[in-house]
């Protein structure tokens, strides 16, 4: 569309108007903020359950899930993935609901990526 405006003949604002449209468009298209989804360690949730959650809700392989589970266990938390706000919120809700239904106190949180 911008190219079309630029090539129109007889328009008094022609190229000048064209570049101001492009500048405004570029200023508006900022990347939306991303959110880190994290799992927190607790003393009750079985390791196998954490691995299952990572495979099921984050599409990770068994090996990847096992590594992240160990990180959560050793360091107290681990970032599982980085997503748009809506996707992160959905993942947190799914994990928390699944954990509650299986009577595990597993905590899943999200925070804005800096």
Look up residue 1 and give its DSSP letter.
Answer: -
> Higher model confidence: residue 12 or residue 97?
97
Distance in angstroms (rounded) separating the CA atoms of residues 105 and 96 = 8
Q: How does pLDDT run across 31-40, given as a tens digit for each residue?
A: 889 999 999 9
For the segment 42-66, what is each residue's pLDDT rounded down to a tens digit? Answer: 999 999 999 999 999 999 999 999 9
SS3 of residue 84 by DSSP: strand
pTM: 0.73
Tens of pLDDT, residues 84-95: 999 999 999 999
Mean per-residue pLDDT of the chain = 85
Place of tokens 């993942």: 91
One DSSP character per residue, 29-81 reads -PPPPEEEEEEE--SSS-HHHHHHHHHHHH---HHHHHHHHHHHHHHSEEEEE
Which of 63-72 are b and which e, b meaning 16 or more Cβ less than 10 Å from the residue's Cβ? eebbebbebb
Nearest to 114 by CA among 29, 39, 38, 34: 34
């Amino acid at each position: 569309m911008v190219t079309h405006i630029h090539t129109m003949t007889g328009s008094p604002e022609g190229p000048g108007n064209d570049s101001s449209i492009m500048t405004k468009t570029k200023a508006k298209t900022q990347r939306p903020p991303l959110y880190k989804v994290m799992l927190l360690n607790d003393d009750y949730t079985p390791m196998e359950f954490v691995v299952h959650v990572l495979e099921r809700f984050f599409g990770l392989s068994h090996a990847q899930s096992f590594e992240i589970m160990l990180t959560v266990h050793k360091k107290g938390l681990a970032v599982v993935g980085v997503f748009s706000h809506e996707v992160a919120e959905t993942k947190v809700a799914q994990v928390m609901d699944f954990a509650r239904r299986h009577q595990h106190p597993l905590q899943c949180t999200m925070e804005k990526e800096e």
